[in-house]
Structure 1
Amino acid sequence: MQTERLARAIGGPVVRATPFTGRGYTPARRMIAELADGTTVFAKQGVNEYTAGELRREFANYQRLQGFFMPVFVGWDDDGGVEPILVLEDLSTADWPPPWTVDRVVQVLDTIGVIARQPVPGGVVELEEEWVGGGWQAVADDPEPFLSLGMCTDAWLDRTLPTLLDASAGARLKGDQLVHLDVRSDNLCFAGDRTVFVDWNHACVANPEVDRAFFLPSMVSEGGPPPEEVATVSPEMVAVVAGFFACRAALPPVPGGPGVRGVQRAQLTAALPWAVRALGLPSLGGA
């Protein structure tokens, strides 16, 4: 049945489908499908309501957007339930970071700029500002999960929270340009002379500084250079990024995504010291 649905999506026969284990953080089923001519493609299949909804959003964006920075769209099959299938070019042999070099970081930042300059077609949603920018307010409302990480003392948080809240409130999140909104190493690769971003389900209209700012802690957490060496980001946006991870990193595991909180903690480890430097805050006091 699976190969039949893949063949229907692709529009041609499929010899075999092999499970693919990547670094994705949702339980979506991933496969490499071999076609009759010996070429291969990559397929993602939903397994529950959440992953099915995300795949449908991603498919819609593939119908609206195009560019060298996206995988080549191959096909789609929607069962009307929880197992739609999206088929894309096979990038499994591309170069997936880490490790990071300054040149590679610049390639990613340049690609974010290219994406931001694309005409924005109808149907692309606007950024949900509160979801992205409300992190420090969530910490203020319930500081215990963040403090349980041991990255700072109660006294440090009491002293700095007003500044973090003010800075976050001053960040310019709205904009009229296209952003990917999930730029990190497991969502990008280097394929020849292309820098390709995958997982386009979160694409929206916003200030492209959001993409630059959220990419940098991911890169730093994997051994890349300090953000200040490769990009200029407003202190207000740095505060937003640190708050996004601060209010989430210690929450209970995400159903179906047990690795998400660990990734968020790693990015917070990079983002919080960055915010300290950017805002001129007192040094972190480890608990």
Structure 2
Amino acid sequence: MSVPAEPVVVPDVVRRLARGERVVPVWANELGGLTFRLGPPSGGGRPAGRSPADEKPGDRPAGRLRYVKWHPRDIGPGVATVSEEAERLRWAAARTPVPRVLEHGRDDDGEWLVTEAIGARSAVDPRWLAAPETAVRAIGLALRALHDALPVADCPWTWSVEERVARVVPAKAGPDMLARLADAPDVVGPVVCHGDACAPNTLLHDDGTWAAHVDLGRLGVADPWADLSIAALSTVWNYGPGHEHLVYEAYGIDPDPDRIAYYRLLWDAT
């Protein structure tokens, strides 16, 4: 996933949801999913279909801004639907900072989820790319806070090894990978996992403290290392090597090489 570098075709439903306000594409994934920011022209956005790479999120006014996550109907298997994410956000919102769901729906072209903006920056905003140690520590602290706040006994969803392995396509994974995935480590102290704990999904206040989590479509009970291993790996993708240990330090745990290796393999396979 990345900030769109090329002009984006804005779906008709997104224009309708904007109600005449500014539409700015802010995120795209490789499967055709798009995220847009909706808000007044004073929010510093650019016209729809233009790159937002030079925006300064800290300059946006609070309150009126909304985000729309849009998926095409044929986005593919294994991707959380916006309805699934809406359910999880509503459940989590009473327990930890996440975006407030305003509406969601679907039509012949796709489905969408509208959430209220949070006055904070992504951990991969240019401000935090220039201060990786601060950002990475905040990611670790935020993940620990999420795991501590969400009650396993009350969570209606799972993100277990068994259900994830069941989605692996044997022809693509190959026998060696399948054999390694079959040798799963025991679950240690299950928590309610984020499900996509990559750096962009943690929001930070301007003072460097964590503010909220976004993109909770896979949230469910699992081994904490299912989140930790990917949160740390994503620091390499976003900030370069040398910061993974800060995630574990901030979370308050020593690295577990075997579980880290297993859950990264499972991530790649699914």
Fold similarity call, TM over 0.5: yes
Q: Which residue of 2 aligns with 1:269?
A: none
Bigger relative contact order, structure 1 or 2, given CA contacts below 8 A and separation 6+? 1
Q: Please report the TM-score for the alignment, with normalisation by the length of structure 2.
A: 0.64
Q: Answer yes or no: is 1:194 the counterpart of 2:210.
A: yes
Whole-angstrom CA distance in 2 between matches of 1:204 and 1:40: 28
Whole-angstrom CA distance in 1 between matches of 2:119 and 2:246: 30
Encode CA deviations 1:93-120: one digit per residue, 9 max, x unaligned: 7243234533322221111111112224
| C-alpha distance 99-54 of structure 1, shift in aligned 2 (>3 A) | farther
Write out aligned runs for 1:69-88 (5 A).
70-79=97-106, 83-88=110-115
DSSP 3-state at the match of 1:215: helix
Are the aligned partners of 1:16 and 1:34 in contact in 2 as well (CA < 8 Å)? yes
The one-letter amino acid of 2:139's match is V
Encode CA deviations 1:219-250: one digit per residue, 9 max, x unaligned: 023315253455222222122134235657xx
Q: Answer yes or no: is 1:212 the counterpart of 2:228.
A: yes
Aligned-pair CA distance for 1:72: 2.6
Q: Please report the TM-score for the alignment, with normalisation by the length of structure 1.
A: 0.61
Q: Which residue of 2 aligns with 1:157?
A: none
Are the aligned partners of 2:89 and 2:98 in contact in 1 as well (CA < 8 Å)? no
Q: Answer yes or no: is 1:6 the counterpart of 2:17.
A: yes
Counterpart pick for 2:197 among 175, 178, 183 = 183
> Unaligned stretches of 5+ in structure 1?
8-13, 144-160, 249-287
Q: Which residue of 1 aligns with 2:175?
A: 141
Q: Which residue of 2 aligns with 1:243?
A: 265
The one-letter amino acid of 1:225's match is G
Q: CA RMSD in A?
A: 3.8
Whole-angstrom CA distance in 2 between matches of 1:140 and 1:33: 44
Q: Answer yes or no: is 1:48 the counterpart of 2:73.
A: yes
Structure index of larger Rg: 1
Provide the identity percentage: 14
> Unaligned stretches of 5+ in structure 2?
1-11, 44-63, 249-253
Q: Which residue of 2 aligns with 1:225?
A: 242
Q: Answer yes or no: is 1:62 the counterpart of 2:86.
A: no
